[in-house]
A and B are shown apart, each in its own frame.
Chain A
């Protein structure tokens, strides 16, 4: 019987709620705070790395993960569930995209794939929802925001101007996915996802978001965003703040020094990278 039928644990309550999903969100809201801020030229993901004992080697545990060269993510909630999702995100970015198109998925496509995995856990038999919320940060090639806005002002040659006009039109029609540049998404246990300019998840998400609302400005530079991220974290952090206890991932300019080789024309390094404890210390001293 048990192996022939398996029913979804997530069923509607008479009031129309899926309480299993609400419980999963409760798990997220007990988790360590993570936050993300989108700048004009990049994104910063930041979280606190808590360890219950000083005997743990801090370098061996890590909460921010690289998914593709240009996409990374962080979580609040249950660590083991997160690692499963990281594995699945990395796998689907290859099976569902790179092995087909020989290029990595755009951020939104990856976010949708991960969101699908999480949604399926709310409707399948014999499984429970994932107890995590994710922040996914990525960078896409395409028409970058500043390029797009710059066009109408320029008094260029007419022919060139026409094609730029056309392109702008198609951009509008297709909902602007041609738009490149950085994007930051949050994915919840229900499988819903939202694009953010800046947000926080986890225990102190509400207060952190209030803080971010005050500090966030349009056209922020990446360096300023890292600064704001650390300030926000400082408000909520419980222990000491240093390179060992804070984890930061950034989407920035191509990091060609991470390629491991040089001299190949057109080769571009990863845009998503984690900051080393030393780099974080440097930011902290300037706080």
Chain B
């Protein structure tokens, strides 16, 4: 319980669909069993179609999200283009490994669509930047065990955006209901080639 990864709680999941991806997180910020806030989103946008989910120690979620905001803004100014999800994933990896012997206590998830080819892309990382590429889904956070279960049960290949939204929402909601440290509402992003839909799920408030 005193692992830095499970002090504040939180959950995040990304899924691949047909020409689309989805990423979702819960909104809880806690101190052990005590809930402090139900308005602490863990998904951040870094280009029109590149998103990063961060679970783990809340202070590092904030610090790391701000660090990447800085790095991606500098990239955009220097290169006069938006960062591609695959490139962003490599940036996340190298930035985390830079802290190999004093890591940020976060478990990142990247989801996005390549601006040029339109190919969906998702991947996850450990806290020192090892990339976990996946063709189906990526889970992270204190509800990751539960998310593995719900995702294994609900996900299927080539889901259309609307079906993917239903699948990821049910996977997240039912996983966080089985985790005491996650929940209290959710953000769900459905990312298509030139459209991003963000939905707020109320979820159980108890």
Direct contact of A and B (CB under 8 A): yes
Q: Between A and B, how many residue pairs show CB distances below 8 Å?
A: 32
Name the B residues within 8 Å of A106 (CB-CB).
79
Contact A99 B94 (CB under 8 A): yes
Name the B residues within 8 Å of A177 (CB-CB).
79-81
- Measured CB to CB, the closest approach of chain B to A105, in angstroms, equals 9
Give bound CA distance, A221 to B167, whole Å: 52
For B163-174 the 0/1 string (1 means CB < 8 A from A) is 000000000000
Known: A163-B193, A163-B194. A101 touches B87 (CB 8 A): yes
Known: A163-B193, A163-B194, A166-B194. A178 touches B81 (CB 8 A): yes
* Residue among A101, A109, A143 making CB contact with B90, cutoff 8 Å: A101
Minimum CB distance partner of B71 in chain A: A100
* Residue among A100, A141, A174, A175 making CB contact with B94, cutoff 8 Å: A100
Name the A residues within 8 Å of B80 (CB-CB).
174-175, 177
Name the B residues within 8 Å of A100 (CB-CB).
90-91, 94-95
Decide if A145 is an interface residue (CB 8 Å cutoff). Answer: no
Name the A residues within 8 Å of B79 (CB-CB).
106, 109, 177
Contact A143 B94 (CB under 8 A): no
Decide if A156 is an interface residue (CB 8 Å cutoff). Answer: no
Contact B116 A142 (CB under 8 A): yes
> Which residues of A189-228 are within 8 A (CB) of B?
none
Decide if A103 is an interface residue (CB 8 Å cutoff). Answer: yes
> Does more than half of chain B's interface fall in helix, strand or loop, or is it mixed?
helix
For A155-183 the 0/1 string (1 means CB < 8 A from B) is 00000000100100000001101100000
Decide if A53 is an interface residue (CB 8 Å cutoff). Answer: no
Give bound CA distance, A68 to B175, whole Å: 47
How many residues on A have C-beta within 8 angstroms of the other chain's C-beta atoms? 17
Name the A residues within 8 Å of B193 (CB-CB).
163
Contact B78 A109 (CB under 8 A): yes
Contact B81 A174 (CB under 8 A): yes
Known: A142-B116, A163-B194. A101 touches B78 (CB 8 A): no
Decide if A62 is an interface residue (CB 8 Å cutoff). Answer: no
Name the A residues within 8 Å of B116 (CB-CB).
141-143
> Which residues of B75-126 are within 8 A (CB) of A?
78-81, 87, 90-91, 93-95, 116
> Which residues of A227-278 are within 8 A (CB) of B?
none
Decide if A102 is an interface residue (CB 8 Å cutoff). Answer: yes
- Measured CB to CB, the closest approach of chain B to A141, in angstroms, equals 8
Name the B residues within 8 Å of A143 (CB-CB).
116
Name the A residues within 8 Å of B78 (CB-CB).
109, 112
Minimum CB distance partner of A141 in chain B: B116
Name the A residues within 8 Å of B194 (CB-CB).
163, 166
Minimum CB distance partner of A175 in chain B: B80
* Residue among A101, A163, A174, A178 making CB contact with B91, cutoff 8 Å: A101
Minimum CB distance partner of B94 in chain A: A100
Give bound CA distance, A178 to B83, whole Å: 11
Sample of 7 more A-B contacts, CB < 8 Å, known A174-B81, A177-B79: A100-B94, A101-B90, A102-B87, A103-B87, A106-B79, A174-B80, A175-B80
13 chain-A/chain-B pairs, Cβ below 8 angstroms: A99-B94, A100-B90, A102-B90, A102-B93, A103-B87, A103-B90, A109-B78, A109-B79, A143-B116, A163-B193, A163-B194, A175-B80, A178-B81
